[in-house]
Amino acid sequence: MTVKSLEIQLYPSCQLHLGSGVFALLPDYCRSLNKRFVIISDTQVPEETVFGVRNLLEKAELDVRVFYFPAGEIHKTRETKERLENHLLDWRYGRDTCLLALGGGVATDLIGFLASTYCRGIPVIYLPTTLLAMVDASIGGKTGVNTYHGKNLIGSFYQPLAVFMDTDVLKTLPPEQWSNGVVEIIKHALIANAELFQKLQTSVGSLKTDPQLLLDIIHESCLIKKNIVESDEKESGLRQWLNYGHTIGHAVESLEEYRLGHGEAVAIGLLVETKLSIEAGFLAASVLRDLEKLLTAYQLPLKTAAFQNRKALLHQLKGDKKSKAGEARFVMLDRMGSARMVDDTYAFPIERTMLERVLNWAAERFGETKEEKK
């Protein structure tokens, strides 16, 4: 078994183990903690994965139980958290408990948040089972839930004790979930690692079939997120780079009323924001061509009607978390693999006429014809 380990040096630091079959390391690790364990997973994580982890711990004679919550972003709420908390309390779980969050980013965000407040904070181990949760959601300590006012508005910064990423579980992942993860990896490559971008170009078609390649790419991607979050633990600056493609991507998601997957919307966001960097004179035009080719090769559809509704789009951009005084700010690239930083600034305002020009381009480039929508 090839295992790659990283230490995320935040407070407190967290060990991350990545590889095929890495869940086999769990019994020894858990035994050393001397706790009772509760696996919390959602109802769509394949049974084989949930039972696999439970059986490993049971065989090691650890005290373990499984709780479920309904799958999906709409259940990442305070109500779901409360229901799980009541369940844990009913079963008399106390400070002697360690939670295991088994699932995608919804599970790690929700269970991480729960762990941070349950009995004033109990340990949690993340067992991410989607590509997105591996390369993104399980690193950096952000936890939270959604409210009707918006996503992730209630939450905490809380580090898991450890993260075990077993790439074997990805075998059951549906195509859309692959795309969601791949787009975040492409984002990481664009902002911080040109070699990773090249690797992704040569890996089209083999990511799912070449375990070593998949492992390397996840590892590289985790390293990028690790370096950024370590330099900016509480999201005061550098972490804005991780938002590349998301300023436009979130606006597209919202205008499409979440009919597009997160990856599909962010893929379009990456292209539009790359176009902005080119128009602003920072970046070579070839990057946009390469990026579009790569996203198409990874079968991202790159279609949306969101740019037809300019007023609503601009309104969404104003509400972005990087906006200042109602003015949208964008992460920019200087080069492939290198996001722009000037003094301590990581996101930049764009002249209104330039923004309009790029949005016109986007409307034309990504617009769906009536025929296609049918």
Ligand X SMILES: NC(=O)c1ccc[n+]([C@@H]2O[C@H](COP(=O)([O-])OP(=O)(O)OC[C@H]3O[C@@H](n4cnc5c(N)ncnc54)[C@H](O)[C@@H]3O)[C@@H](O)[C@H]2O)c1
The residues of the shown chain that bind ligand X, judged by CB under 6 A, are 42, 44-46, 49, 71-73, 76, 103-107, 109, 129-130, 132-133, 136-137, 140, 142, 151-152, 169-170, 172-173, 177, 180
Nearer to ligand X, 200 or 242 (CB): 242
- Active-site residue among 35, 54, 187, 246? 246
Whole-number Å distance between alpha carbons of 160 and 176: 27
Nearer to ligand X, 287 or 316 (CB): 316
Q: Is 85 a catalytic residue?
A: no
- Active-site residue among 35, 75, 250, 275? 250
Q: Is 250 a catalytic residue?
A: yes
Q: Is 235 a catalytic residue?
A: yes
- Active-site residue among 120, 311, 373, 374? 120
Whole-number Å distance between alpha carbons of 241 and 249: 14
How does DSSP classify residue 327? B
Q: Is 262 a catalytic residue?
A: yes
Nearer to ligand X, 129 or 304 (CB): 129
CB 95 within 8 A of CB 119: yes
* Distance in Å, CB of 223 to ligand X, minimum: 16
- Active-site residue among 54, 75, 146, 184? 184
Nearer to ligand X, 15 or 198 (CB): 15
Nearer to ligand X, 23 or 93 (CB): 23
Two tokens at 205?
A: 């078609």
CB 58 within 8 A of CB 129: no
Q: Is 176 a catalytic residue?
A: no
Two tokens at 82?
A: 């409360």
* Distance in Å, CB of 67 to ligand X, minimum: 14
Whole-number Å distance between alpha carbons of 85 and 160: 18
* Distance in Å, CB of 145 to ligand X, minimum: 9
Whole-number Å distance between alpha carbons of 101 and 111: 6
Whole-number Å distance between alpha carbons of 82 and 114: 8
What is the CA angle 326-288-246, rounded to 5? Answer: 35
- Active-site residue among 76, 239, 275, 340? 239
Nearer to ligand X, 93 or 126 (CB): 126
Closest chain position to ligand X (CB) = 105
Whole-number Å distance between alpha carbons of 191 and 286: 16
CB 87 within 8 A of CB 67: yes
- Active-site residue among 75, 76, 81, 262? 262
Which residues, 6 or more positions from 135, have their beta carbon under 8 angstroms from its beta carbon?
181, 184, 185, 188, 218, 221, 222, 225
* Distance in Å, CB of 365 to ligand X, minimum: 26
Q: Is 357 a catalytic residue?
A: no
- Active-site residue among 225, 226, 322, 340? 225
Nearer to ligand X, 128 or 358 (CB): 128
Two tokens at 352?
A: 């209104």
Whole-number Å distance between alpha carbons of 145 and 117: 13
Which of 168, 169, 210, 204 is closest to 185 using CA atoms? 204
Q: Is 95 a catalytic residue?
A: no
Two tokens at 184?
A: 């975040």
* Distance in Å, CB of 31 to ligand X, minimum: 25
Other beta carbons within 10 Å of 96: 13
> Hunting for tokens 């020009």 — which residue is that?
357
> Hunting for tokens 């790419």 — which residue is that?
217
Active site residues: 120, 142, 184, 225, 235, 239, 243, 246, 250, 262
